[in-house]
Amino acid sequence: MNIAERFIRYTTYDTQSDETAVMTPSSVGQRAFGLTLCHELESIGLEEVQQDKNGYVTATLLPNGEGKEELPTIGFIAHMDTSPDLSGKSVNAHIVHYLGGEIPLSGQGGIRLSPDMFPELDNYRGQDIIVTDGTTLLGADDKAGIAAIVSAMEYLVQHPDSKHGRVRVAFTPDEEIGRGADHFDVPGFGCDWAYTVDGGALGELEYENFNAASAQVRFKGRNVHPGTAKDVMVNASLLAMEYVSWLPPTMRPETTEGYEGFYHLTAMGGSVEEAWLSYLLRDHDRIMFNQKKDVIRMLAERMNRKYPGSTSTTIEDQYYNMREVVEPQKHIIRLASEAMRAAGIEPQIKPIRGGTDGARLSYMGLPCPNLFTGGHNFHGRYEYLPIPSLEKSMLTIIKIIESL
């Protein structure tokens, strides 16, 4: 089976994670997909294949050459779930040969993938691209990573002349809802280091990510009949609006790029009596990250001085910048960069404006940079995957393993 066929088959599994669920995996589709992957890994010749009680799938490619068992054990990790942002059910993934211009996705809805909206699409003229029908996401995040890893393992099993050390693979649940590393058995995985295969465009190599926290800001109002409200009513929803106005508009996701951090208002609600705001706080720099948390608290104190007893905050750290762990072991990045060049790719080293399982795993003792899959426009109906980029992702994995 070629890698594109493998990926398209993977997209038929509905594996959306569910942040409201308390079980692991958070959706039954992930466990079913994991069992399918176990059967596939066994069929291509991997050993020690298992799915644990939390749905994590692991397997081993055994060393195959004299002295190769003495090499470091490295791992490759991808996640099985797709984003809750858009349906992943009944995905109609298909291949188009792109010659330029717009790609019609949905005739009825008039949904089109256009270089006017996504200029990078022009980079793939003359290539085969996998798209959806515009009613669902594609799921390249991260089924493309799984397809690249499985295809690389299959190649190495089928080419015993390619000598290598011990390699471990893992497929995790619930990465999209921030739980992908919750039950990851780092000692049991037994790797010196690993790579998540969860990046975007061709050549991306990432070992810096945001420091991340969530913040909840709650407001308590005082509701009375509006006819007698003068100097008595305190409208909690208006307090929330006032609080939002105090945060700088230049520090939102839609106004930042590169290393710039942000305050991201993800949800809000309320009434006169009570209101709430949910924020994501992000920054690559640890000092500026902590300053953002301080600002959330400081503005609550300011609100309480103006409206006594009205405002409270809860802030929880989510993950930290893996650079602090990976940079002291820069040979991991050099190895991946050299492997990309051997595959005919110029590495594009850039910070992740987000996070991966690798960020948390790095702080759990498993240094874990991130490799590209080739996909674009993750989490939405305009997601697409150039097949040559996916093939290069697979080749990069093979070259890393062969380079040790």
Q: 262-321: per-residue pLDDT in tens?
A: 999 999 999 999 999 999 999 999 999 999 999 999 999 999 999 999 999 999 999 999
In this structure, the answer to whether residues 84 and 18 fall within a common structural domain is yes
| Nearest CA-CA partner of 353 in 317, 378, 326 | 378
The Cα–Cα gap between 21 and 23 comes to 6
Residue-wise pLDDT for 22-50, tens only, equals: 999 999 999 999 999 999 999 999 999 99
For the chain, give the secondary structure using H, E and C.
CCHHHHHHHHHCCCCECCCCCCCCCCCHHHHHHHHHHHHHHHHCCCEEEEECCCCCEEEEECCCCCCHHHCCCEEEEEECCECCCCCCCCCCCEEEECCCCCEEEECCCCEEECCCCCHHHHHHCCCEEEECCCCCCCCHHHHHHHHHHHHHHHHHHHCCCCCCCCEEEEEECCHHHCCCCCCCCHHHHCCCEEEEEEECCCCEEECCCCEEEEEEEEEECECCCHHHCCCCCECHHHHHHHHHHHCCHHHCHHHCCCCCCEEEEEEEEECCCEEEEEEEEEECCHHHHHHHHHHHHHHHHHHHHHCCCCEEEEEEEEECCCHHHHHHHCHHHHHHHHHHHHCCCCCEECCCCCCCHHHHHHHCCCCCCEEECCCECCCCCCCEEEHHHHHHHHHHHHHHHHHC
Please tell me the number of Cα atoms within 13 Å of 184 on its side-chain side: 31
The Cα–Cα gap between 53 and 33 comes to 14
Residue corresponding to tokens 């008039």: 110
Asked if 81 is an active-site residue, the reply is yes
Q: Sort strands 74-79 and 94-97 into parallel, antiparallel or unpaired.
A: unpaired
- Report the mean per-residue pLDDT for the chain: 96
284 φ/ψ angles, rounded to the nearest 5 degrees: -75, -35
Full-model pTM = 0.90
Domain that holds residue 334: 3-208+321-403
Q: Is pLDDT of 342 > 90?
A: yes
Give the total number of structural domains in the chain.
2
Q: Is pLDDT of 365 > 90?
A: yes
In this structure, the answer to whether residues 247 and 338 fall within a common structural domain is no
In this structure, the answer to whether residues 125 and 169 fall within a common structural domain is yes
| pLDDT at residue 356, rounded to an integer | 84
CATH number for the domain that contains residue 308: 3.30.70.360
In this structure, the answer to whether residues 345 and 282 fall within a common structural domain is no
Of the three residues 295, 319, 343, the one that is the final residue of a domain is 319
Q: Which of 108-117, 372-381, 394-403 has the lowest mean pLDDT?
A: 108-117
In this structure, the answer to whether residues 114 and 198 fall within a common structural domain is yes
In this structure, the answer to whether residues 296 and 339 fall within a common structural domain is no
Check if the beta carbon of residue 88 is closer than 8 Å to that of residue 120. no
Average pLDDT in the 152-179 region? 96
| pLDDT at residue 61, rounded to an integer | 98
Q: Is pLDDT of 156 > 70?
A: yes
Check if the beta carbon of residue 264 is closer than 8 Å to that of residue 280. yes
Of the three residues 269, 284, 319, the one that is the final residue of a domain is 319
Residue-wise pLDDT for 187-223, tens only, equals: 999 999 999 999 999 999 999 999 999 999 999 999 9
Of the three residues 319, 344, 363, the one that is the final residue of a domain is 319
Catalytic-labelled residue, pool 14, 18, 40, 81: 81
Check if the beta carbon of residue 82 is closer than 8 Å to that of residue 176. yes
| pLDDT at residue 108, rounded to an integer | 66
Residue 3: CB atoms within 10 A of its CB come to 20
Q: Is pLDDT of 109 > 90?
A: no
In this structure, the answer to whether residues 135 and 268 fall within a common structural domain is no
| pLDDT at residue 65, rounded to an integer | 86
| pLDDT at residue 45, rounded to an integer | 97
Average pLDDT in the 158-169 region? 96
In this structure, the answer to whether residues 86 and 9 fall within a common structural domain is yes
Q: Is pLDDT of 354 > 90?
A: no
Q: Is pLDDT of 394 > 70?
A: yes
Residue corresponding to tokens 């195959």: 64
In this structure, the answer to whether residues 314 and 384 fall within a common structural domain is no
Residue 225: CB atoms within 10 A of its CB come to 8
* End-to-end Cα distance, the chain: 27
In this structure, the answer to whether residues 74 and 140 fall within a common structural domain is yes
Check if the beta carbon of residue 376 is closer than 8 Å to that of residue 114. no
| Nearest CA-CA partner of 239 in 259, 258, 220, 254 | 220
Residue-wise pLDDT for 83-107, tens only, equals: 999 999 999 999 999 999 999 998 6
Average pLDDT in the 347-374 region? 93
Please tell me the number of Cα atoms within 13 Å of 264 on its side-chain side: 18
Q: What are the residues whose beta carbons fall under 8 Å from the beta carbon of 392, sequence distance 6 or more? A: 202, 343, 344, 345, 372, 374
Asked if 40 is an active-site residue, the reply is no
Which tokens belong to 401? 């393993």
In this structure, the answer to whether residues 94 and 196 fall within a common structural domain is yes
CATH number for the domain that contains residue 144: 3.40.630.10
In this structure, the answer to whether residues 201 and 216 fall within a common structural domain is no
Q: Is pLDDT of 255 > 80?
A: yes
Catalytic-labelled residue, pool 175, 176, 198, 283: 175
